[in-house]
Amino acid sequence: MFAEVIIPLALPKNYTWHIPEEMLPGISVGCRVEVNLGKNKKYAGLVKRIHGDAPLSFEAKDILNVLDPEPVIHPYQLQLWEWMARYYMCTEGEVMAAALPSHFKLSSETVLIFNEEFGDDFSDLDNDEFLVAEALQMKHELRLNEVQQILDQTHVYPVVNKLIGKKLCFVWEALKQAYTAKKETFVLLSNEYHDEEKLAELLNNWGRAPKQMDLLLGYLHLMKTQGEVTKTELLKKAGASDAQLKGLVDKEILHLEKRSIDRIMYAPKDITIDFTLSPSQQEAYEKLQACFQERQVALLHGITSSGKTHVYVKIIEQVIRRGQQVLYMLPEIALTSQIIRRLQKHFGGYIGIYHSKFSQNERVEIWNKVKSGELKIVLGARSSLFLPFRDLGLIICDEEHDSSYKQQDPAPRYQGRDAAIYMASLTSSKVLLGSATPCLETYYNAKTGKYGLVELAERFGDVTLPDIEFIDNRTIAHKPGEKIMFSPRLLDEIRTTVARGKQVILFQNRRGYSPYQLCTVCGWIAECRNCDVSLTYHKQSNKLKCHYCGNIYPPVTTCMACGSDKLVQRSFGTEKIEEVLETELEGIKVSRMDFDSVKNKNAHDVLIQQFEQKKIDVLVGTQMVVKGLDFDNVDLVGILDADALLHFADFRVHERAFQLMEQVSGRAGRKAGKGKVLIQTINPTHPVLLHVARHDYAGMYNEEIEKRKQFFYPPFSRIIHIHFKHKERDVVFDCAHQFAKAMDFVYRSYIVGPAEPVINRVRGMFLMELLLKLPRDAQFIAKCKDDIQKEFANLHQQTRFKKVIMLPDVDSQ
C-alpha cells in the first residue's frame, strides 16, 4: 500500500511513499508520518490518501515512522485544503504550512527550544525521551539533526513528537516575536467553595471579621456579573484593603493567581444572557433564523451601533445549546480585549481566543480543545478557520467587508470570509456575515437572493446616527501647496467638545510626522533606495522611514540633488497632528493610535482602556481607530483629509472610502445625544462624500454596482491579479509582456495590462502587473488558472526569466 503525503512546502505536487507492512494497522488519513525527501532531508508530512497504485516512474521510498496514533485533522479539513490550493493557485503544502501550528511541523531544519516552565522533573520520561530532555535542558535549544546524534536514526521524530506533546519543548518559529502577555493578579474562589452548599455554610456561620465578609460578598457579586475578577478591581469596587484580602487568602477561601489578561484559565462554563433584544433586534434575530432555514449564508446589514453583537450572542446561544461549535471571526486588529470581555461575560469558559500573538503552547491548547469539542466558541482572526472543529454549527464573520480578511503574503492568498463560506458547505454549518458597510460583492449576493439579507436600520437605544458636515478647505486661507491640517472650525469644535467632558476621535490615514521631504529649489523628494516611494519623517525617532520595506534612514538636512538646505515638509501624519494639537489646545490630553504607537503588543489594548476610562480627551489615529470599537463618550469625530481617501487608482476606491468614513463616523454618539462628524475636504460635492453625509449605503451601492457592471468588475467578473517581480526592470517588463502575449490567444478580451504599477519598485524589485477579468464560469476560470500555471512554467524554463517571481492573486483586494 502507498500513501500520498502533503509536505509543508511549495512543492508542485504531493508525492507518494510506500507503507511498510507493519505500519499498515497504525496509519490513517490525516496522520502525520516521517518521510525522507531528497538525499537527507526529513519531514513530518500528512497522509492525504492511502491507495494501492504503485508509482510508475520511480520506486517509492518507505515511510519511516507514523507519528500520530490518530489523525490530527478531520477529513473535511483535507477537502478545505485541497479546495484552497486549487482556488487560490498554490500548493497543498503551502496550505498545510499555514494551517497547522508549528508544533506539528517537523523537518530537518526544525529547532527545538526547551520549555523552562517544564522544570526538571523528568521522571515520566522513557530512556530516549530522557536523553533528549537532558541535552535540551543543558543546551536550551537543539536542531533535529543534533537530536539525531543523540538517538538512533529511526527514533528521532517519534521521540521529539512525544516530547512536544508533553510540553517539554516547543518548535522555534522564526519571525514570530515572542509575545509577553500582560500579566495581572486575578482573584479566584477556592475550589471547595464552588460547591454552593459549602459556600452557603461558610457565609451562614461567619464569625468575626465582618469586613472580610463584605469583601467576599463583593467578590462573589463581581464573579457572577463578569466572570473574571482582578485584584485591583476588587479592592477598588469593594473599598477594601490588601490586608482584608490577605485574610481571606490565608483562610484559603480565595486565592490569587498571576496570569495574562487575555487568556482564560478558569471561567465557569455558563451561558449568561443578561439583556433583552430591542424590538428591531428581535425582529432581525427572527429573520436570521428564518433565513437559515433556507440558506447557508445570511448577511446582517446593521448600521453602526445597532447592536449586531447582541444579535450574534443570541444566535450563538442557540447553536451551543444544541451542542454545536461556533467560529467567530474578526479582523485581527479588531480582536481587542473589549470584544473578548463582552463575549466572555456571556459565555465564560466556553470561549477560546485564537490569536497570532499567542504563544505556541497556548495555540496548541486551543487546537486540542477545539478538536475534543471542549471549547464551544472560538474567537479569532482569519487563520482560526483552520482549527479542527468537531461539530461546527455556525461561522460568524464580523466586519465582513474588512480587506484584512484577505491574506497577502505568503500563499495561500485566501480570503477568510470566502473560505469560511466554502468550509460551511463542507460541514453543513451556517455563515452569518455582519457589517454596517458590507462589501459590494456580499451585498450583491444578498440582493440577488444567493444569501439571506436582514437589515437592522436603527441604532440601539434612543440614539441616532451622527450629523455629518463638511469643511471646505478651499475657503480657508493657506499657502499654495500646503495641506490644511486644522480648520479653525474643527479646532473650535474639539475645544468645546472636550470642555463639555466629551471625547474626540480624529482620523488621518497616514502615520509618521510628514510623508514628504521636498526641496523647494529643485523639487527633489527624499525617496527610499529600494522602493519607488517617498520617505516619511518620524519625529519621535528622528528618522526617515520607508513604509513599504521598513528601511530606516537618517533625516536629511540638505537636498541630495542640488545641495540646497531649503527643504520643507509636505502633508502630515498622525504624529504631527498629535504635536500640533498639544500646542494648540493646552491642557487637553491627546494620544495617538497607529502602527508606531502600538508596536508593543499590549499598547493597543492599553490605549483603548485609557480612552474608555476617559483618561484621554482626543484620540488621533489611522485605520486602527475604526475597527469595531465601542466607546460611549465620543461626541465628535474629525476626518482630517478625506481627499486622500478618494485618490487611488483602484476600482474599489469609492467603496473603500465610503466604508472607512462611515465606520469612523460610526464611533460618534453611540450612547447618548447626538454625535457630530466633521470632514475636511476640497471637494465637498464628491458623490461618495454626499453618500457619507446621508449615511446612504444603498445610494453608494447603487451607483457603484452600475459602474462595476459597466466596466466588468466583480461581482460581475472574477479577477486574478498577477504580479511579476525581478531585480531588473527590462527583464520583468519583457516577462510580463511575454506572458500576456501567450495568454492573449484565448483570453484577449479579459486581459488588462500588463503595466507598471504606480509604485514600480519595492524592496529592490521592479514590478509589473496584469489583471485578468474573467466571466463567472467556474470551468472557464479553472481552465484559465491551469493555463496561467503552464505559462509560468514555460517562462521559468527560459534562462532570462528563471528568477522572475510570478504571483497569482485570486480575487485580489
The binding site for ligand ADP (CB under 6 A) comprises 275, 277-278, 281, 302, 304-310, 460, 630, 670
561 binds Zn ion (CB under 5 A): yes
b/e code 492-501 from CB counts within 10 Å (16+ = b): ebbeebbeee
Task: Name the minimum Å distance from CB 759 to Zn ion.
Answer: 10
Strand order through the sheet with 536-538: 536-538, 543-545, 552-553
- Our CB check for ligand ADP shows the closer of 365 and 612 to be 612
240 binds Zn ion (CB under 5 A): no
Task: Name the minimum Å distance from CB 534 to Zn ion.
Answer: 10
Task: Name the minimum Å distance from CB 566 to Zn ion.
Answer: 8
How does strand 392-398 pair with strand 2-6? unpaired
What track of x and - describes contact with Zn ion for positions 80 through 99 (by CB under 5 A)? --------------------
Q: Which stretch binds Zn ion (CB under 5 A): 127-135, 163-171, 481-489, 556-564?
A: 556-564
Taking CB within 5 to 8 Å according to partner kind, which of ligand ADP, Zn ion, none is near residue 562?
Answer: Zn ion
Amino acid at 591: S
- Our CB check for ligand ADP shows the closer of 304 and 571 to be 304
Taking CB within 5 to 8 Å according to partner kind, which of Zn ion, ligand ADP, none is near residue 789?
Answer: none
Task: Name the minimum Å distance from CB 528 to Zn ion.
Answer: 3
Q: Which long-range contacts (CB under 8 A, 24 or more apart) does 689-693 make?
A: 689/470, 689/642, 689/661, 691/658, 692/468, 692/658, 692/661, 692/662, 692/665, 693/468, 693/469, 693/470
Cis peptide before 410 (omega within 30 of 0): yes
Task: Name the minimum Å distance from CB 424 to ligand ADP.
Answer: 22
Task: Name the minimum Å distance from CB 398 to ligand ADP.
Answer: 8
- Our CB check for ligand ADP shows the closer of 487 and 503 to be 503
**Contact 223/189 with Cβ under 8 angstroms?**
yes
- Closest by Cα among 642, 588, 590 to 619: 590
- Our CB check for ligand ADP shows the closer of 74 and 346 to be 346
Give the three cell numbers for residue 247: 485574610
518 binds Zn ion (CB under 5 A): no
Task: Name the minimum Å distance from CB 553 to Zn ion.
Answer: 10
Taking CB within 5 to 8 Å according to partner kind, which of ligand ADP, Zn ion, none is near residue 561?
Answer: Zn ion
- Cα 658 to Cα 652: distance, rounded to the nearest angstrom: 10
Task: Name the minimum Å distance from CB 708 to Zn ion.
Answer: 33
Task: Name the minimum Å distance from CB 730 to Zn ion.
Answer: 21
- Our CB check for ligand ADP shows the closer of 206 and 275 to be 275
How does strand 254-260 pair with strand 183-189? antiparallel
How does strand 503-507 pair with strand 618-621? parallel
Taking CB within 5 to 8 Å according to partner kind, which of Zn ion, ligand ADP, none is near residue 275?
Answer: ligand ADP
Taking CB within 5 to 8 Å according to partner kind, which of Zn ion, ligand ADP, none is near residue 548?
Answer: Zn ion
- Our CB check for Zn ion shows the closer of 526 and 810 to be 526
522 binds Zn ion (CB under 5 A): yes
- Our CB check for ligand ADP shows the closer of 307 and 669 to be 307
Task: Name the minimum Å distance from CB 379 to ligand ADP.
Answer: 14
- Cα 249 to Cα 103: distance, rounded to the nearest angstrom: 38
- Cα 133 to Cα 806: distance, rounded to the nearest angstrom: 44
Cβ partners under 8 Å of residue 650, min gap 6:
656
- Our CB check for ligand ADP shows the closer of 81 and 460 to be 460
Task: Name the minimum Å distance from CB 260 to ligand ADP.
Answer: 25
Please state, in angstroms and as integers, the Cα–Cα distance from residue 489 to each residue in 232, 493, 505, following that order.
42, 6, 15
- Our CB check for Zn ion shows the closer of 489 and 727 to be 727
- Closest by Cα among 176, 207, 147, 19 to 601: 176
Taking CB within 5 to 8 Å according to partner kind, which of Zn ion, ligand ADP, none is near residue 307?
Answer: ligand ADP
**Contact 530/545 with Cβ under 8 angstroms?**
no
- Our CB check for Zn ion shows the closer of 3 and 531 to be 531
Task: Name the minimum Å distance from CB 647 to Zn ion.
Answer: 21
Residue 657 main-chain phi, psi, to 5 deg: -65, -45
Q: Which long-range contacts (CB under 8 A, 24 or more apart) does 598-607 make?
A: 598/624, 601/177, 601/179, 601/180, 601/181, 601/357, 602/181, 602/182, 604/333, 604/336, 605/182, 605/261, 605/262, 605/336, 605/337, 606/182
- Our CB check for ligand ADP shows the closer of 55 and 673 to be 673
Task: Name the minimum Å distance from CB 444 to ligand ADP.
Answer: 22
- Our CB check for ligand ADP shows the closer of 278 and 360 to be 278
Binding-site member from 199, 202, 426, 521 for Zn ion (CB under 5 A): 521
Task: Name the minimum Å distance from CB 658 to ligand ADP.
Answer: 17
531 binds Zn ion (CB under 5 A): yes
Cβ partners under 8 Å of residue 530, min gap 6:
546, 549, 551, 761, 762, 763, 764
Which DSSP symbol is given to 542?
A: T
Binding-site member from 50, 223, 426, 549 for Zn ion (CB under 5 A): 549
Please state, in angstroms and as integers, the Cα–Cα distance from residue 466 to each residue in 399, 486, 635, 683, 737, following that order.
20, 21, 9, 21, 50
- Cα 54 to Cα 119: distance, rounded to the nearest angstrom: 48
Binding-site member from 465, 559, 636, 657 for Zn ion (CB under 5 A): 559
Taking CB within 5 to 8 Å according to partner kind, which of ligand ADP, Zn ion, none is near residue 302?
Answer: ligand ADP
Q: Which residue is nearest to ligand ADP (CB)?
A: 307
Taking CB within 5 to 8 Å according to partner kind, which of ligand ADP, Zn ion, none is near residue 711?
Answer: none
Taking CB within 5 to 8 Å according to partner kind, which of Zn ion, ligand ADP, none is near residue 305?
Answer: ligand ADP
Which DSSP symbol is given to 534?
A: B
Number of other CB atoms surrounding residue 425 within 10 Å: 15
Alpha-carbon dihedral of residues 41, 42, 44, 48, nearest 10 degrees?
Answer: 70
Binding-site member from 326, 387, 528, 772 for Zn ion (CB under 5 A): 528
- Cα 530 to Cα 784: distance, rounded to the nearest angstrom: 34
Binding-site member from 519, 590, 781, 806 for Zn ion (CB under 5 A): 519
546 binds Zn ion (CB under 5 A): yes
Please state, in angstroms and as integers, the Cα–Cα distance from residue 575 to each residue in 348, 363, 517, 627, following that order.
39, 35, 15, 20
- Cα 284 to Cα 308: distance, rounded to the nearest angstrom: 9
- Our CB check for Zn ion shows the closer of 170 and 516 to be 516
- Our CB check for ligand ADP shows the closer of 253 and 311 to be 311
Binding-site member from 2, 524, 553, 595 for Zn ion (CB under 5 A): 524
- Our CB check for ligand ADP shows the closer of 309 and 534 to be 309
**Rounded CA Rg of the chain:** 29
- Using CB under 5 A, list all residues that contact Zn ion: 519, 521-522, 524, 528, 530-531, 546, 548-549, 551, 559, 561-562, 564
